[in-house]
């Protein structure tokens, strides 16, 4: 029976993520499962996670294959209730979208399009995580209003006086345009229109039942600059030929491969683009004599070969001490919807560090690093590096940093014009440590020298603060014994 079928949709995995790649199924059709049993492994832009089932019963259908990218809010698995008949998945499907109204094919298509585009704040939350900032974060049942709203909107088009305005669920109520009964649009499309100053009242929706689509807003944005109808006609042949592996129109070279931008790479691209477009960054750097630090660590290693912190842990300790002295670099710059701006300070330091993995560059963070010793920092850095490389770091471990330390010296380079890890306001980079000529007490000597580079948001502080912090860390590296004694 269809009423005995439960459809579990891909939940919001935290951090506002809108999609995930299905890596592996942990169950098969016909398996008996219990509540909270892991059913699949999925890879998001943040990490690899196991998705637990909120239902118990028999697996009736798996909605996806390994390697497929699924949208948040789309069906993941269908589960027959324990003790229920073994009705077919096809017969059970309508129950998952039941709204009390039999929807026409056109309306069902419109509802499906709406669900595809409405990726922000799904309200369908993974056990153990939460939906950040959403008004519907407290929802305890699956959303069922989308079909009903679109269907009733279609009925109003046919019979305007016969049907009263429906009662909308909070998540959908904010997506309706007054005076346009059929214009039920996703929050993502509304945000695009708001960001570009486009009035949705002036847009005719091209979707079924008058649904305003992303393409409608994009057309309104570009209308003053280019003919709306000309662009798709001109671009279509180029897209088709490129997809077929033909010669690239701009370079004259054959296209050898097309790699979808997704997962970690997609998240990095979006974050770096936002950082470059929003943060007016400046950079300061200094060469540092790290000889004393290396000698101190070598001496410690003789005494405790298996319990000596790495160089990065010592530098991390100096960084947390420096941020206590220069807290402006441990903040966040926020702009409210009304245009007002604030610099948000934190009572503590979550120290992020860049870690290269097979999935791309990720930035796990040591939470409450300000209260840790160099040895404790070393242990936590090693643990986080391991879980990040295994793809098991949690969204909280990957998205809670307040300042980033980047050791790009491991790649054999001296310096870098780093891009700040948005929404943080500063990043310290450490280059490779190499032998260089250095003047010591008026005489030329060969010393172990590295370069420190600090990129900072010029909105939160001026060069004096940035230079003061950088010099503090540099002095600590050059005189580690005295610095550690004072911390």
Catalytic positions: 458
State the maximum Cα–Cα separation within the chain, in Å, rounded to a whole number: 95
In angstroms, rounded to a whole number, what is the distance separating the alpha carbons of residues 235 and 60?
A: 43
Residue 35's Cα: distance from chain center in Å?
28
Alpha-helix runs per DSSP H in 208-290: 214-222, 230-243, 263-278
Asked if 426 contacts 456 with a C-beta cutoff of 8 angstroms, the reply is: yes
Nearest-angstrom CA–CA distance, 342 and 425:
13
Of 42, 27, 76, nearest to 359 by C-alpha is 42
3-class DSSP assignment, residue 362: strand
How far apart CA 463 and CA 421 sit, in angstroms, is: 19
Q: Is 348 helix (H, G, I), strand (E, B) or coil?
A: coil
d(CA 335, CA 321): 29
DSSP alpha helix (H) spans, 390-487: 395-399, 463-478, 480-486
């Amino acid at each position: 029976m269809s009423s005995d079928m439960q459809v579990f949709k891909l939940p919001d995995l935290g951090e506002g993520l809108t999609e995930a790649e299905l890596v592996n199924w942990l169950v098969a059709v016909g398996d008996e499962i219990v509540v909270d049993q892991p059913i699949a492994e999925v890879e998001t832009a943040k990490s690899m996670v196991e998705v637990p089932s909120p239902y118990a019963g028999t697996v009736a259908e798996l909605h996806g294959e390994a390697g497929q990218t699924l949208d948040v809010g789309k069906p993941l698995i269908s589960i027959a209730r324990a003790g229920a008949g073994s009705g077919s998945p096809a017969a059970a499907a309508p129950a998952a979208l039941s709204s009390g109204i039999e929807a026409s094919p056109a309306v069902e298509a419109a509802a499906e399009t709406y669900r595809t585009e409405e990726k922000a704040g799904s309200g369908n939350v993974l056990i153990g995580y939460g939906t950040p900032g959403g008004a519907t974060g407290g929802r305890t049942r699956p959303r069922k209003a989308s079909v009903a709203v679109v269907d009733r909107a279609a009925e109003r088009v046919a019979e305007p006086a016969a049907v009263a305005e429906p009662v909308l669920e909070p998540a959908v109520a904010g997506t309706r345009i007054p005076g346009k009964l059929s214009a039920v649009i996703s929050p993502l499309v509304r945000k695009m229109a708001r960001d570009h100053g486009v009035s949705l009242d002036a847009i005719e929706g091209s979707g079924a039942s008058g649904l305003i689509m992303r393409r409608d807003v994009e057309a309104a944005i570009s209308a003053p600059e280019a003919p709306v109808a000309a662009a798709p006609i001109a671009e279509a042949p180029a897209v088709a030929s490129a997809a077929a592996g033909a010669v690239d129109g701009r370079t004259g070279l054959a296209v050898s491969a097309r790699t979808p931008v997704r997962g970690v790479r997609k998240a990095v691209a979006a974050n770096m683009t936002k950082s470059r477009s929003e943060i007016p960054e400046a950079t300061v750097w200094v060469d540092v004599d790290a000889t004393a630090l290396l000698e101190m660590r070598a001496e410690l290693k003789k005494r405790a070969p298996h319990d000596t912190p790495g160089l990065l842990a010592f530098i991390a300790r100096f960084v947390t001490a420096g941020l206590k002295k220069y807290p402006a670099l441990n903040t966040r710059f926020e702009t409210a919807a009304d245009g007002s701006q604030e610099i948000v300070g934190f009572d503590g330091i979550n120290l992020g560090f860049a870690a290269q993995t097979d999935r791309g560059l990720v930035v796990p963070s040591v939470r409450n690093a300000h209260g840790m010793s160099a040895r404790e920092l070393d242990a936590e850095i090693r643990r986080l590096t391991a879980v990040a490389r295994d793809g098991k770091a949690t969204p909280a471990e990957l998205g809670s940093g307040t300042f980033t330390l980047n050791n790009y010296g491991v790649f054999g380079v001296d310096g870098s014009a780093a891009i700040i890890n948005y929404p943080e306001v500063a990043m310290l980079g450490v280059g490779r440590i190499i032998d260089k000529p250095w003047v010591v007490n008026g005489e030329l000597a060969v010393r172990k020298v590295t370069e420190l580079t600090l990129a900072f948001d010029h909105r939160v502080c001026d060069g004096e603060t940035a230079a003061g912090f950088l010099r503090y860390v540099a002095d600590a590296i050059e005189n580690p014994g005295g610095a550690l004694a004072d911390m």
